Amino acid sequence: MEATQQQQKFSKPLIYMLIGSAFILALSLGVRHGFGLYLVPMSHEFGWSHQVFSLAIAFQNLLWGAVQPFTGALADKYGSKKVVAVGGVLYTIGLLLMSISSNALLLDFSVGLIIGLALSATSFSVLLSAVGRAAHPSKRSMAMGIASAAGSFGQFIMLPTTLLLIKNFGWSSALIITAILVVLIVPLAWMLKAPMYVAPNAVSQATRPNLSFKEILKIAFNHKPFLWLALGFLVCGFQVVFLGIHLPGYLIDHGFDASTGTVFLALVGLFNIVGTYAAGWLGDKYSKPHLLMGLYGLRGVAIVAFLMLPLSIWTVYAFGIVMGILWLSTVPLTNGIVANMFGVKYLTMLSGIVFFTHQVGSFFGGWLGGLNHDITGNYNIIWALSIALSVLGVLVHFFVNEEAVVDD
């Protein structure tokens, strides 16, 4: 009994990896969640419609998702630290080019192409998969939740920091300073060295044939619960990118200043720490698909309440707190289901496939938000679509289970 408990504890290499992953996610996602703050100043300076910036962000999300399975396959084969280090270099280059983007083409190249590639190497799919491989199966969901929660602190810190940099130095200088911070991802990548957890009876399993990439992909695409899980993640992508990019502009349209939207996003980041940790903890104890059904349902309720209540600074902040708890709580649960279904050997690649649908949703949440605003001057259609998608998110997880298809 004591030996079993000892095996389930976080090892020193895993703790070391958790710290490194937290800092990398804090930088990568903290900067990424602040991109919405650049929409208004860049659009005003160059006379762009909202759709120009929105389309660049939408392209970023779509490319990020499209290359994520391939980035994941590289991480599975060559190791996470090398992939993350390359991603840190690309992220830095992308931010520097963004700082001189005076036309739509250069914006699409920097924000869309380069940073999209960088995010595929420095965000959840690669880092949480590395953590999940190193953790004991009974603690896997919690370990992913801890890394997600600590990384969420970056959003809380980076959003007000980004706003202060833009106000005091201008948007271009703010991006250069941010690039200097992001380059720290490169040395932090060398903290991702924890070995994969190996069960005590692994020797008796050693004679099992190893599945190739092609074989595991065939199994995954023929497993309907995996496909339903992927569809559900599309809802998450649409909602978080629509709110992250367009809520500051929505609030400005209703007479609030830029700081209100920044505080909203900072509250999302702060309470996301609570939400992702709680989701990881609950995911080790209760059905992950049922938890996901609850999360998507509560998102829909929160959006309806926000739109029906009189808009004030207090309802904005309350919405930020509630959405923060529900924001990326889906991530450790979704990745945990993939790990339970197929094991951890190809977890990064398979999580990347699920994440692709998340990014398809992100593309439409970012782009359609800007398009709808340019055509109608408001976001009414996108709000209604966000509510409808919450219902979809609840329904599809009725068909998801965690039963193992491939053993570790």
Within a domain: residue 315?
Answer: yes
Q: For residue 3, what pLDDT is reported?
A: 42
Within a domain: residue 307?
Answer: yes
Within a domain: residue 206?
Answer: no
Q: How far is CA 82 from the centre of its chain?
A: 20
Listed residues 152, 167, 195: the one ending a domain? 195
CATH number at residue 275: 1.20.1250.20
Which residues contact residue 3 at a Cβ distance below 8 angstroms, ignoring those fewer than 6 apart?
none
Q: Are residues 298 and 224 in the same domain?
A: yes
> Over the stretch 317-330, which tens digit does the pLDDT of each residue have?
999 999 999 988 88
> Over the stretch 356-382, which tens digit does the pLDDT of each residue have?
888 889 888 888 888 888 888 889 999
User: Higher-confidence residue: 374 or 238?
Assistant: 238
Instruction: Reduce the secondary structure of the chain to three states and give it as a string.
Output: CHHHHHHHCCCHHHHHHHHHHHHHHHHHHHHHHCHHHHHHHHHHHHCCCHHHHHHHHHHHHHHHHHHHHHHHHHHHHHCHHHHHHHHHHHHHHHHHHHCCCCCHHHHHHHHHHHHHHHHHHHCHHHHHHHHHHHCCHHHHHHHHHHHHHHHHHHHHHHHHHHHHHHHHHCHHHHHHHHHHHHCCHHHHHHHCCCCCCCCCCHHHHCCCCCCCHHHHHHHHHCCHHHHHHHHHHHHHHHHHHHHHHHHHHHHHHCCCCHHHHHHHHHHHHHHHHHHHHHHHHHHCCCCHHHHHHHHHHHHHHHHHHHHHCCCCHHHHHHHHHHHHHHCCCHHHHHHHHHHHHHCCCCHHHHHHHHHHHHHHHHHHHHHHHHHHHHHHCCCHHHHHHHHHHHHHHHHHHHHCCCCCCCCC
Q: Are residues 321 and 358 in the same domain?
A: yes
Q: Are residues 224 and 301 in the same domain?
A: yes
Q: Which of 28-32, 226-230, 278-282 has the highest mean pLDDT?
A: 226-230
- Confidence (pTM): 0.76
Q: Would you say residue 90 has pLDDT above 80?
A: yes
Q: For residue 408, what pLDDT is reported?
A: 56
Q: Are residues 146 and 250 in the same domain?
A: no
Q: For residue 230, what pLDDT is reported?
A: 92
Judged on CB neighbours under 10 Å (0-12, 13-18, 19+), 193 is: middle
Handedness of CA 355, 359, 360, 365 (dihedral sign): positive
Residue 201: band (very low, low, confident or very high) from pLDDT cuts 50, 70, 90: low
Q: Would you say residue 30 has pLDDT above 90?
A: no
The number of residues in the chain equals: 408
Residue 205: band (very low, low, confident or very high) from pLDDT cuts 50, 70, 90: very low
Q: Are residues 133 and 234 in the same domain?
A: no
Q: For residue 229, what pLDDT is reported?
A: 93
Number of domains in the chain: 2
Q: Are residues 33 and 148 in the same domain?
A: yes
Which residues contact residue 309 at a Cβ distance below 8 angstroms, ignoring those fewer than 6 apart?
315
Name the average pLDDT for the chain: 85
Q: For residue 6, what pLDDT is reported?
A: 47
Residue 16: band (very low, low, confident or very high) from pLDDT cuts 50, 70, 90: confident
Q: For residue 272, what pLDDT is reported?
A: 86
> Which of 29-43, 192-206, 377-391 is predicted least confidently?
192-206
Q: Are residues 85 and 187 in the same domain?
A: yes
Q: What is the mean pLDDT of residues 142-158?
A: 75
Listed residues 165, 195, 225: the one ending a domain? 195
Q: Would you say residue 142 has pLDDT above 90?
A: no
Residue 297: band (very low, low, confident or very high) from pLDDT cuts 50, 70, 90: very high
Q: Are residues 351 and 235 in the same domain?
A: yes
Q: Would you say residue 67 has pLDDT above 80?
A: yes
Q: Are residues 148 and 240 in the same domain?
A: no
Q: What is the mean pLDDT of residues 48-67?
A: 84
**Count of CB atoms situated within 10 Å of the CB of 255:** 8
Within a domain: residue 203?
Answer: no
From residue 343, give the alpha-carbon distance in Å to each of 40, 85, 227, 351, 360: 44, 25, 17, 11, 25
Q: Virtual CA dihedral for 214, 216, 221, 226, nearest 10 degrees?
A: -160
Q: Are residues 141 and 170 in the same domain?
A: yes
Residue 8: band (very low, low, confident or very high) from pLDDT cuts 50, 70, 90: low
Q: Are residues 302 and 373 in the same domain?
A: yes
> Which of 41-50, 133-142, 204-213 is predicted least confidently?
204-213
Within a domain: residue 201?
Answer: no
Q: Are residues 121 and 256 in the same domain?
A: no
Within a domain: residue 202?
Answer: no
User: Higher-confidence residue: 213 or 239?
Assistant: 239
Report the distance separating Cα 249 and Cα 353, nearest Å: 31
Q: How far is CA 8 from the centre of its chain?
A: 27
- By C-alpha distance, which of 241, 191, 240, 233 is closest to 88? 191
Tokens 């833009």 locate to 166
Residue 207: band (very low, low, confident or very high) from pLDDT cuts 50, 70, 90: very low
Residue 388: band (very low, low, confident or very high) from pLDDT cuts 50, 70, 90: very high
Q: Would you say residue 233 has pLDDT above 50?
A: yes
Q: Would you say residue 190 has pLDDT above 60?
A: yes
Q: Would you say residue 125 has pLDDT above 60?
A: yes
Listed residues 144, 165, 195: the one ending a domain? 195
Question: Residues 362, 239: contact at Cβ < 8 Å?
Answer: no
Within a domain: residue 345?
Answer: yes
Q: Residue 310: which domain range? A: 214-407
Within a domain: residue 101?
Answer: yes
Q: Virtual CA dihedral for 359, 362, 367, 372, nearest 10 degrees?
A: 150
Report the distance separating Cα 378 and Cα 245, nearest Å: 14
Q: For residue 196, what pLDDT is reported?
A: 63
Question: Residues 223, 340: contact at Cβ < 8 Å?
Answer: no
